[in-house]
Amino acid sequence: MARCYCRWRNVFICVCTPCICMALLFVYVGIMVCTTIRNTTSLGTMGLYGSEITHFVASGNLRNKTSAPLPKTFWDIYPNGDALWNRLQLSIDRHFNPILCPNNIKRRLESSTFHETLLRQSFSGVIDLAKWRNFDRLPHLMQEFVRHMQRRDYPALFQPDGICGAGAKDEKGPPLLLLAIKTTELNFKNRQAIRKTWGKVGWVAGQGRNSSGGKEGGGYVRRVFLLGKENPEELGVNSSELLQMENKRYGDILQWDFKDTFFNLTLKDVLFWSWFSRVCGQTHFVLKGDDDVLVNTPKLITYLQEQLKKPQAQETIKDFMIGDVIGAALPNRVNNSKYFVPDSFYKGFYPSYAGGGGVVYSGLLTKRLHIMSKRVHLFPIDDVYVGMCMVRLNAQPIHHPAFLTFDFPGKEEENVCSYHRVLLVHKRSPSQIVQLWADMEKTQTQCWNVPLRDPVTNGNKL
Ligand SMILES: *[C@@H]1O[C@H](CO)[C@@H](O)[C@H](O)[C@H]1NC(C)=O
Ligand SMILES: *[C@@H]1O[C@H](CO)[C@@H](O)[C@H](O)[C@H]1NC(C)=O
Ligand SMILES: *[C@@H]1O[C@H](CO)[C@@H](O)[C@H](O)[C@H]1NC(C)=O
Ligand SMILES: *[C@@H]1O[C@H](CO)[C@@H](O)[C@H](O)[C@H]1NC(C)=O
Ligand SMILES: *[C@@H]1O[C@H](CO)[C@@H](O)[C@H](O)[C@H]1NC(C)=O
């Protein structure tokens, strides 16, 4: 009996000791992996703004149902390996994978040029254009994009006079809002309409009213136009002399030496972020829009000041981006569309992104986007690219129905106060902008207290 017991005890020890050891090892590895992931999801904040990620909930809502599935970890976003962009980005994301390469995370702040050389290296490491057999099958414009997609160090040809856009003189406080508007050399009329109407710089009164009905609030607004270059031979004139005169007069031209084409628009975002990070440190918010939008600047100012006053704003404003958010979009596969992206170039969903007609984000977020953009390969659709950088910052754009990048639904526009209920409307010609702005000034007293389009009902109820 005793011997039997002894034998069973030995078996017990032989079998169970390794089991217990393995279990302890698993627990240890599990804890290590979890802490590493926790530390690196706050990697987007670069350790500059505290460690906790609390998402900013402005009045507006995330489109829960239609949001693209957001992966827990940023490095397995693009598992579909064989498309060109996915392959390029995978090599970068691997490089910053905290488990595969923990040391790279520590090195990340050491040199700001580090990431740019890294993008180039990953390009030549992953792809040899001469041998990539799908290259010839890409549409011509996409080929042009791919040939230049590892370059982004284009020099500035014109920069604003002021430190941070037009309007820097005579200001007593830091700017509340910088209007950054994408335009082209030829769209002089659009720029002029914006300068005369919603894009006026200096002190702009908000639409808030205090208890006795007096106007309350307001903020300093600055303006900058973002341009690439037209081809002077195609144009037949040398536009840089005209632009020089325009810049002398208004001081709001920021132009870089790259060809102003649709697929190059992403360069405007990336280079603007870089410029902003250098010279606009104090600006609270940026409105990035096209030159064919109408913005209700007074309402926007009031709205932004409300966001700043919210509890926890200090902590959460670093993630703040608001606009017309498009979730779970797929790349356009219609080969004659302007937005066509073939599946040999990109596979998978697009991340949630704010429609590029107009979007507002915080100055803090702009600086973080600048840093993050150095490790995200350029993508030909600019708003999607911003969304890709946001995912890597672990931040999500917030949807607000007062951003109408696809115009008013139904007959809503006919309402007298319709334009007082929105922050931004897309697709208006210069003459329409001037007319609508004049109308808005006329109806201002009548409509001053109408609320913005309702975030809860998505503005469908009117
Ligand atoms: C989205 O999710 C948040 C939090 O989970 C919730 O408060 C909100 O009501 C949801 N919105 C919609 C439109 O379902
Ligand atoms: C409201 O604003 C007006 C003008 O801006 C000012 O004269 C008035 O004192 C303010 N009233 C209160 C109660 O703050
Ligand atoms: C256009 O004008 C600018 C400024 O006068 C000059 O520097 C540039 O060389 C001109 N470009 C061409 C193609 O003539
Ligand atoms: C973008 O600009 C660069 C520099 O001018 C040019 O070489 C390239 O062809 C442009 N890309 C596209 C897609 O037009
Ligand atoms: C574009 O798509 C159509 C129909 O899907 C196809 O017939 C055509 O060959 C395609 N064109 C190119 C250039 O790929």
Ligand 1 site, CB within 6 A? 61-62, 64
Helix (H, G, I), strand (E, B) or coil at 100: coil
- From the CA of 367, how far away is ligand 2's center (Å)? 36
Tell me the CA–centroid distance for residue 334 and ligand 5, in Å. 8
Specify burial of residue 79 (Cβ count, 10 A radius: 0-12, 13-18, 19+): exposed
Contact between 349 and 330 under an 8 Å Cβ cutoff? The reply is yes
Is 458's pLDDT higher than 70? no
- Categorize the per-residue pLDDT at 2 as very low, low, confident or very high, splitting at 50, 70 and 90: low
Among all bound ligands, the one having the nearest atom to the CA of 398 is: 1
Report the CATH fold assignment for 156-458.
Answer: Spore Coat Polysaccharide Biosynthesis Protein SpsA; Chain A (3.90.550)
Which ligand 2 atom is the nearest neighbour of the CA of 211?
13
- Cα(252)–Cα(193) distance, rounded to whole angstroms? 14
Q: What average pLDDT is seen over the chain?
A: 83
Q: Is the pLDDT of residue 68 over 50?
A: no
- Which residues share a beta bridge with 190? none
Q: Is the CB of 264 under 6 A from ligand 4?
A: yes
pLDDT for the residue 35: 67
Q: Is the pLDDT of residue 249 over 90?
A: yes
Q: Residue 224 has what pLDDT?
A: 97
The answer to whether the CB of 210 is under 6 A from ligand 2 is yes
64, 67, 400, 456: residue to mutate for ligand 1 pocket, most atoms within 8 A of CB: 64
Q: pLDDT at position 459, please? A: 43
CA-proximal residue: ligand 4, atom 11 (nearest): 145
CB 87 less than 6 A from any atom of ligand 4: no
**Amino acid 130: pLDDT:** 80
Q: Is 311 in the pocket of ligand 2 (CB under 6 A)?
A: no
Task: Please check the confidence at residue 57 and state whether its pLDDT lies above 60.
Answer: no
For residues 407-430, give the mean pLDDT. 94
Backbone angles phi, psi at 322, to 5 degrees: -135, 140
Mean pLDDT of 433-462: 80
Contact predicate 183/226, CB 8 Å: yes
End-to-end CA separation in angstroms for the chain: 88
Distance 211 CA to ligand 2 centre (A): 8
Q: How far is the CA of 31 from the centre of ligand 3 (A)?
A: 63
Reported pTM: 0.82
Per DSSP, the three-state class of 191 is helix
Q: What's residue 42's pLDDT?
A: 39
Indicate the range of 191-205, 293-307, 444-458 predicted with least confidence. 444-458
Indicate the top mutation candidate among 259, 269, 341, 385 to test ligand 4's pocket, ranked by most ligand atoms within 8 A of CB.
259
Question: If you average pLDDT over residues 113-126, what whole number do you get?
Answer: 77
Length, in residues, of the chain: 462
Minimum CA distance residue for ligand 1 atom 1: 64
Q: What percent of the chain has pLDDT over 90?
A: 50
The residue whose C-alpha atom lies closest to atom 14 belonging to ligand 3 is: 238
**Rounded distance from Cα 147 to ligand 4 centre (Å):** 9
Q: Ligand 2 in contact with 249 (CB < 6 A)? A: no
Q: Is the model's pLDDT at 93 over the cut of 90? A: no
pLDDT band at residue 107, thresholds of 50, 70 and 90?
Answer: low
Q: What is the mean pLDDT of residues 372-393?
A: 93
Q: Which of 11-25, 36-50, 237-251 has the highest mean pLDDT?
A: 237-251
Q: What is the pLDDT of residue 441?
A: 94
CA torsion angle 422 339 382 161 (round to 10): -80
Q: What is the pLDDT of residue 69?
A: 46
Cα 152 to ligand 4 centroid, rounded to whole Å? 10
Percent of the chain at pLDDT above 70? 83
Q: Which tops the pLDDT comparison, 21 or 176?
A: 176
55/51 Cα distance (integer angstroms) = 12
